[in-house]
Every structure is written in C-alpha cells, then in structure tokens.
Amino acid sequence: MAAPTALIAEDEPLLANALRQALARCWPELPTPHLAANGDEALAQALALLPDVLFLDIKMPGRSGLEVAGDLAEEWPAGRPFPLIVFVTAYDDYALQAFERAAIDYLLKPVSQDRLAVTVARLQGLLAQRAGSGQDCHLERALAQLRALSAPTVDDAPPRLDYIRAAVGNKVKMIPVDEVIYFEATDKYVNVVSAEGSALIRTSLRELIPQLDGRQFWQIHRGTVVQVRQIQAAMREESGKLFVTLRDRPEKLAVSRLFAHLFRQM
C-alpha cells in the first residue's frame, strides 16, 4: 500500500506546525503533511492534492471546517476515495458531545501526543481496511456525520416563522411562509421566491433554516431550501448531478450530495 498523504488546515501557524511535528513522531511513515492557512485554501488544496487524510480546524477565516467538509463532499471527484476527516477544535464539553454522537473523530486543542496517537491508530486501521476491501464507504459516512452536526437541537431551535418580511422596491412585503416556493442564498441576501415573484431578506440561510418546519421545507443545497409540496420530481442527469423540478415553474434546482438522501426511493 502506498504511503498515505495528508493535509492540515489550521489558521494558527504555531498550532499547524506543532500538529505536523507531532504527526511525524507518532506516524513516521506519513509524508510531511501540506498546510492550508484558511478554509478557502483548504478546499482548493484538498481538491488539487486529493489527500487520504484531512485535519480540519473548525474555526478558520473564510469557510469553517464543517463548510470545507461539506463542499468537499459535493465537489470530490467520483472514483477517488474520500479523505478520512479529523476535526480539530477548541470547543467546550457540550460541543464535543455532539461530535461524539456523530461518530466523527476529533482532536481538542492543544493537541496532546497521546490523544493524537489514538487518532492515528484509528486512521491507519481505516486506511488498511479500505485498501483491503477495495471499497470506500467513507463519503456516505461523512455525509451522515455532517448532517448530524448541522441539525439544530430542540433546545436551540427558535420559534417557527409564519411570515417573511421582505424588501420589494421601497416597501416591506409580508409573505406567508406557506406561500414560499423556495429560498435561495445570494452574496449578502436570501432571495424569497413565491408565486407573486421574488423578494430579498437580509437574514442568512443559516439563521433562517431553524425557523422553518423541516417537514415542510427541505434544504437541498448549501444555498437552497425548497417547499416540499412544490417539488414535482428529482432527476439525475448524464453528468451524475441531481436536480429537482418544480410544479408550474421552469427552474431546475441543484441537489448536493449532502442532501441527495432525501430523494432515495422509499
């Protein structure tokens, strides 16, 4: 089996180099990992290098570690084994419980040599298992883990929205949530699309989603949430990309790998 490759995404150079040196001590067969200084750089390097192992800091400039993992899952080339992801975090005990429930391996800052050794042994076992079986189920596992981490808890969920207050020209329009066809994130706004047209709100999609009924609205992409009863069909094109078509509307909305499970046959 060829020596695995690794990428460390960490915006603090001292911590990045400390992790790199610690890995050299407990995993000498691992070539010196590449370093990325922020989330955007991590995504670009991961797609260019296609590493076997990826150490992702949770809080980085640009994309967060979770966002990098989600974007990688969407853009990772077919036929290439998805990297084994280890999150590096300074979160408190409550947040760590969420990682444990999602069965994601993580390292707590500052990273201890003993804890890293446990993680390395687990990574080595997973890589050997993957090489022996010739199968890669880690992408589906990573997608399930990301969905679990992204789901708001009951205690954190804000009250449900009944109306959307959106800007239309020089006035504010009250749009009943039941009449919204889909929400689409833009650079600084969210576009609210209903039968009467489009309107903009300043609330981010991340803030909006917990206020929507998850049985009524499905997130199908990082930037798209659609009303379930407005979906006519889901179809996969020759390129392998999944799209949904809408009732009485011409748009086709892309579905990311992270949310493709919503459209598996019952």
pLDDT, tens only, 215-255: 999 999 989 999 999 999 999 988 788 999 999 899 999 99
Domain extent, residue 64, equals 6-150
Tell whether 78 and 195 lie within a shared domain. no
- What pTM did the predictor assign? 0.74
What distances in angstroms separate CA 215 from CA 211, 226, 227, one per listed residue? 12, 11, 9
Return the DSSP state at 149: H
CATH of the domain at 255: 2.40.50.1020
Number of structural domains (the chain) is 2
pLDDT of residue 90: 84
Tell whether 101 and 219 lie within a shared domain. no
Question: Domain end: 122, 150, 178, which one?
Answer: 150
pLDDT, tens only, 7-50: 999 999 999 999 999 999 999 999 999 999 999 999 999 999 99
156 part of a folded domain: no
Return the DSSP state at 72: H
Question: Domain end: 120, 150, 180, which one?
Answer: 150
pLDDT of residue 104: 63
157 part of a folded domain: no
Residue 64, helix vs strand vs coil: coil
Question: Domain end: 84, 116, 150, which one?
Answer: 150
pLDDT of residue 151: 63
Q: At what angle do helices 39-49 and 65-75 cross, to 10 degrees?
A: 30
